[in-house]
Structure 1
């Protein structure tokens, strides 16, 4: 079994994507974009044996400095998947996938120990199955539901799944002349960013969700026509705007903002229905709305539930490469914070859990 850390320019990364169904979350360029935002190095964990391959995009970061943890001669690092759903990929066939993954993940653990990568945290796609081997080589934690629309269903079936009061809201919006449309990304980016930041301020979002404008610019360059900006307007007034990305037959709802001052709280619902109908007409298979904040079943999750009967659980995979070194970091964190470290199903890795009232945790590192 051959194991490597691939950099974004390694041709093996691109060649595997040519052989596997994947989304934009798996692109080397997306890992690089996330690495710049997270202060790490873009990479992919890769294993190969007899033509069968396994790959997981990650961002490699130095461990945070914890007083009392000591400073080893060769520092440790850890790995986290880019934000979103960069599910681990494999080219192994159905008949031998379990055996291959068992062997690949065992070999990857030894390789990562030699590379002094202490933990791996992966966000997995609720739209793809996760083999049992991941539970054998780490911990699979189930979070809240993620909601998706099956765009291969008939228009009548899709409409029947819409919550009844949503239909009333949509009818009222249309009577008032409210419309939804896609506009050129570069033309509408300033207004989108303004609305998005305003929405994050209103809901008290963590700083993690305040993507810089340059991030949106780079995302547009990376995805080109696969990234679409939808706006909802009443006359010349912008009520709401949202970003959607399509790849591999899946349309992902990314981010949105709404201007609450204009007293049209249901504008986002019209946007979702517009994108649903466009996605079906364009031949996409799934519109994925996602779930709640941090993978929880919260008010945002309930909002998304109103569009569809389909949902799947969002899972994360947590892998401790060196249990002894992990324990050393936890004890140092506990001594410094005065608190008990989270168990494996809580905030992971527990030594990265922020301390204090102003703490700003990364999404889905905590249990739902």
Structure 2
């Protein structure tokens, strides 16, 4: 399925999904990764199985593209296959994945690298598929079930102290539109990447952030400010009941105040009040790993 096919958004309207499954997000990633945004759809009656991906020419390390063979990769983030197996006969995910592999082979693909989603998993059991699975990294997922007091009680004592300190010293969290918040976010992100020594392949450039403009209705920037000066920032998405923070950072001069702790708690509070099921703070490997 092409990224501009109206069926793409129609499918997402029927499935629990995340920002990483949106065609506009795939378009931004395809420019960065050097490929075409596509998606595979398997249908059995009312059951759907959907896998977005970037299709590109296969390459050997340090060598130009190899013939006409293709390589398939997930975009950065957590865009793993999603589906509605509850509407299908047993073995639906296995049949869908087999059909996906058959379609890739027919296209001439020699490999497929899929990033799974911590909340949305439509892959078949590992021991029943040809998947080579690697648990590369842990991610942080905050369950918003229960009342807010119960969630607060699960926060570590040290983190609660940091949040309370942020409030005492007058730090404020402010939500702004994507376009208005990008300059501050990009500056803080670049400073953070410099501080941790991230190489070029593991960081986004300004062009990438500007390619997210079509997602302005689905993304916003949250800022932590000290006397109206941003000291921490994160990109925030909300699709279905899942809140994501794909990209963010903290100014070095503000590290001692832990503004990220306040930002996290404000996300939890907002998500809980608006019926979200989870806040996913991310983690994992770099975008091109």
Is the pair's TM-score, using the shorter chain for normalization, greater than 0.5?
yes
SS in 2 for 1:166: helix
Partner of 2:226: 234
Q: How does 1:1-368 map to 2 (within 5 A)?
A: 6-50=1-45, 52-65=47-60, 72=67, 75-93=68-86, 96-98=89-91, 100-133=92-125, 135=127, 136-224=129-217, 226-262=218-254, 264-291=256-283, 293-294=284-285, 362-363=287-288, 365=289
Which shifted more, 34-43 or 45-54? 45-54
Aligned residues of 2:40 and 2:51 also touching (Cα < 8 A): yes
Supply the distance in 1 between the matched residues of 2:61 and 2:202 (Cα, whole angstroms). Answer: 25
Distance 1:262 1:28, change over 3 A: closer
Supply the distance in 2 between the matched residues of 1:36 and 1:97 (Cα, whole angstroms). Answer: 38
SS in 1 for 2:220: strand
Larger Rg: 1
1 or 2 for the larger relative contact order (CA 8 Å, sep ≥6)? 1
Alignment length, in residue pairs?
288
Root-mean-square deviation over aligned CA pairs: 2.5
Which shifted more, 278-287 or 156-165? 278-287
Supply the distance in 2 between the matched residues of 1:119 and 1:150 (Cα, whole angstroms). Answer: 34
Supply the distance in 2 between the matched residues of 1:140 and 1:206 (Cα, whole angstroms). Answer: 26
Q: Residues 105-131 of structure 1, C-alpha deviation per residue, up to 9 Å, x if partnerless?
A: 333333322210111111011113444
Aligned residues of 1:239 and 1:264 also touching (Cα < 8 A): no
Distance 1:237 1:288, change over 3 A: same
Supply the distance in 1 between the matched residues of 2:186 and 2:27 (Cα, whole angstroms). Answer: 22
Supply the distance in 1 between the matched residues of 2:65 and 2:220 (Cα, whole angstroms). Answer: 48
Distance 1:109 1:186, change over 3 A: closer
Distance 1:41 1:134, change over 3 A: farther
Q: Residues 244-280 of structure 1, C-alpha deviation per residue, up to 9 Å, x if partnerless?
A: 1100111101111211124644111111111111111
Aligned residues of 1:181 and 1:274 also touching (Cα < 8 A): no
Aligned residues of 2:27 and 2:37 also touching (Cα < 8 A): yes
Deviation at 1:90, TM superposition (A): 2.5
Q: Residues 71-117 of structure 1, C-alpha deviation per residue, up to 9 Å, x if partnerless?
A: 65xx101100111111212344355242x333333333333222101
TM-score under structure 1 normalisation? 0.71
Supply the distance in 2 between the matched residues of 1:274 and 1:9 (Cα, whole angstroms). Answer: 35
Supply the distance in 1 between the matched residues of 2:96 and 2:267 (Cα, whole angstroms). Answer: 39
Which shifted more, 159-168 or 144-153? 144-153
Aligned residues of 2:80 and 2:121 also touching (Cα < 8 A): no
5+ residue gaps, structure 1, are 1-5, 295-360
Distance 1:280 1:107, change over 3 A: closer
SS in 1 for 2:187: helix
5+ residue gaps, structure 2, are none
Partner of 1:325: none
Distance 1:223 1:124, change over 3 A: farther
Aligned residues of 1:106 and 1:137 also touching (Cα < 8 A): no
Distance 1:71 1:257, change over 3 A: closer
Aligned residues of 1:183 and 1:229 also touching (Cα < 8 A): yes
Supply the distance in 2 between the matched residues of 1:235 and 1:141 (Cα, whole angstroms). Answer: 45
